[in-house]
A and B are shown apart, each in its own frame.
Chain A
Amino acid sequence: MAASARRRRVAAAGALTGALWLATMCLLPLCGFPLLSHPAFRSLTIPSRVVLSGAAGAVLLSAAMTGSVLLDLHWNESLVAGAAVLLACGLRLLLGKERAQPPSAEPADRLTVAAHALSAAAVAIAYLGARSGSATSPDLVFFWGAKAQQFAAARTIDVTFLENAFHRYMHLYYPPFVTNVYAFATMAAGRFPWTAAVLTFPLLLAALAIGLPGLLPRRAAAAWSALAVAAIAYAGIAADVAGNGEMPLLLLETLAVALLVSPDASRASTQLLAGILLAGAVTAKVEGLPFALAACAVFLVRARRPRAPAAARLLLPLVVCLGAWFFFGATRRLFYGYAGEGRMLDLYPARLATVLRLVGAALASTGYALPWLVPLAVLPFAGRPRGAAWIPLGTAAALTGFFVFTYLHRAEDPTLWITWSAPRIFMSVAMLLVIAAASNASGPSTPTRSRAAPSPR
């Protein structure tokens, strides 16, 4: 009897800690609010601005935490959150007097209502998958959560912990966004809640479902958003991504590329915001870097001259955030870049057919490859690729090439490696196909060339 009462008390305390941890995540929009409340973002819907505030706020919070580490300052929840707010205020100043018109209110038609219902169903399914222990990623325990928990206890990025020879499997060079944000929530909640951490998958998917429709070109935006959310939900459950770095990466990548194909893509404010989100993607996972570089490159090729201001807005946040991480690694003699599979051009090209077959098999075993096949099948309905659709399409092609290039590097049999990783890392490609179709379906506009870009102060 006493043991059962004690178990109930422990479970209640655990649930409270989990709720606090997730509530801390839900408060991140406060960090990004000073930036997203600028009149330049008035053209976005309120739900999109709230979600973008959260995503940008999380990136600024992580940057503030990495900055604190570089300054040898121990983390304090209030101070790092305050520093993130100050960063947002500073970035707001860069936007000057840029203004935008509020979006016109459009009555929701049956198509939109059905699309929102499907998005809600996809999020509910992701929640059930995560909560029932069907979608948990072992990587949550292996390194994402383990590092975040340790860093929260040490109130810094714990160099001694990373240096331990028996902790090398934790990939000490992995960038800090996910562990920083998880550590922040852990400091606020008091301890790392393993069960609640799994729920970041449906939580961030819900954020995407709420924020994405307002960013996509108006025509059938909700329907295309529902398709992206459903593809990520199904692939995420089938590939066991709950709790790992995949969903934070996908949220940042999707929001960033949606901004780059939006009718406001030529605005300085939109480019700066996309740059901040891409900086988050780059510091979330290693594969965020090729994604960001490819997306920026295709965008800049299409952008009107002069391209330097747009390039600065897109790339400077990324350079600062990733530079700070590599500076941390170099000054602590931990790492000097990303560890690859051998040297850059030491390839095994004879393995190309095998690698392609293994990637195909890995995707086929993840929901029968439907999260990729359905967006591919729907793409032709949006018409021939044109305009901004080339940004996600070009990024998808570059990313696919990069993944295959990486898989050709390992001397040993890559079967296990590809089986484990391909379904997760190719989720970005599924999302990009949907954004390309959404952008294409909106009509023959060429947003990045159509408006003059006001220069930031």
Chain B
Amino acid sequence: MPLRQSVRLAAPLFGAAVLVAFAAASLPWKSGVFARPRTPFDRSAASSVAPGFALLRAAADVIPAGAVVVARTEPRDPVHETYLHRFALALLPGREVLPAAYYGQATPPEVWGRAEYVVVVGARPADPPGTLLKETGEGSVWRRRPGGDESQRQAP
């Protein structure tokens, strides 16, 4: 086979080999690529949402179908709460999920005040919003007491 033709045939193969090598090197070998992750986001660029994902998945065990839920952070962070609302909608199917924040802006308490359950990502709130149902390393799940709680104050 002439040299020029050999080069032409080998070029895509060489290119594929380069890309496969770089792709393999990009995997998180040091953090255990074969280990089962806790959430699908553990090692992705969006790993900051992993705790919220894990907590909401755990919250599904204690929040019944048809319940009204709000998910928020402690301390309050409207940007994070915007994403949390989106995750709660996906991970708590069959429940009515109300937003504590939307597009980075805190929503007024009237929007989510009728929530029966609160999922709090982060530290346990100083003023408990009701009865504690579940607590994990990522946060807590509460059944709200009637009449509201400290968290009904608008986020900054």
B7 within 8 A of A: yes
B76 within 8 A of A: no
State the main secondary structure of chain A at its contact with B.
helix
The answer on a CB contact under 8 Å between B85 and A166 is yes
Q: How far is the CA of A125 from the CA of B11 in the complex (A)?
A: 22
Q: How far is the CA of A194 from the CA of B16 in the complex (A)?
A: 30
Would A142 and B40 be within 8 Å (CB), given that A240-B46, A370-B18 are in contact?
no
The answer on a CB contact under 8 Å between A370 and B19 is yes
The answer on a CB contact under 8 Å between B40 and A223 is no
The answer on a CB contact under 8 Å between A374 and B23 is no
Near B by CB (< 8 A), chain A positions 307-360 give none
Chain B residues with CB under 8 A of A122: 16, 19-20, 23
Q: How far is the CA of A229 from the CA of B22 in the complex (A)?
A: 14
Would A223 and B90 be within 8 Å (CB), given that A133-B37, A234-B22 are in contact?
no
Contact residue among B94, B98, B102 (Cβ-Cβ distance under 8 Å from A153): B94
A368 within 8 A of B: yes
Chain A residues with CB under 8 A of B28: 132, 134
Q: Chain B 101-126, CB within 8 Å of chain A: the 1/0 string?
A: 01100000000000000000000000
A136 within 8 A of B: yes
CB distance from A71 to the nearest CB of B (A): 26
Chain A residues with CB under 8 A of B86: 141-142, 146, 169
Would A146 and B23 be within 8 Å (CB), given that A138-B46, A230-B16 are in contact?
no
The answer on a CB contact under 8 Å between A238 and B43 is no
B156 within 8 A of A: no
Chain A residues with CB under 8 A of B89: 146, 167
Segment at the B interface, from A49-57, A111-119, A261-269, A288-296: A111-119
Contact residue among A153, A166, A240 (Cβ-Cβ distance under 8 Å from B93): A153
Would A125 and B24 be within 8 Å (CB), given that A226-B12, A240-B44 are in contact?
yes
B135 within 8 A of A: no
Q: Interface of A with B (CB < 8 Å)? A: 111, 114-115, 118-119, 121-122, 125-126, 128-129, 131-136, 138, 140-142, 145-146, 149-150, 153, 166-167, 169, 191-192, 194-195, 198, 219-220, 223-224, 226-227, 229-231, 233-234, 237-238, 240, 242-243, 367-368, 370-371, 374-375, 377-378, 381-383, 434, 437-438, 441
Q: Interface of B with A (CB < 8 Å)? A: 7-20, 22-24, 26-28, 32-35, 37, 39-46, 49-50, 53, 83, 85-87, 89-91, 93-94, 98-99, 102-103
Top 9 closest pairs, chain A to chain B, by CB: A133-B37, A230-B19, A381-B11, A234-B23, A146-B90, A133-B42, A226-B16, A134-B43, A223-B12
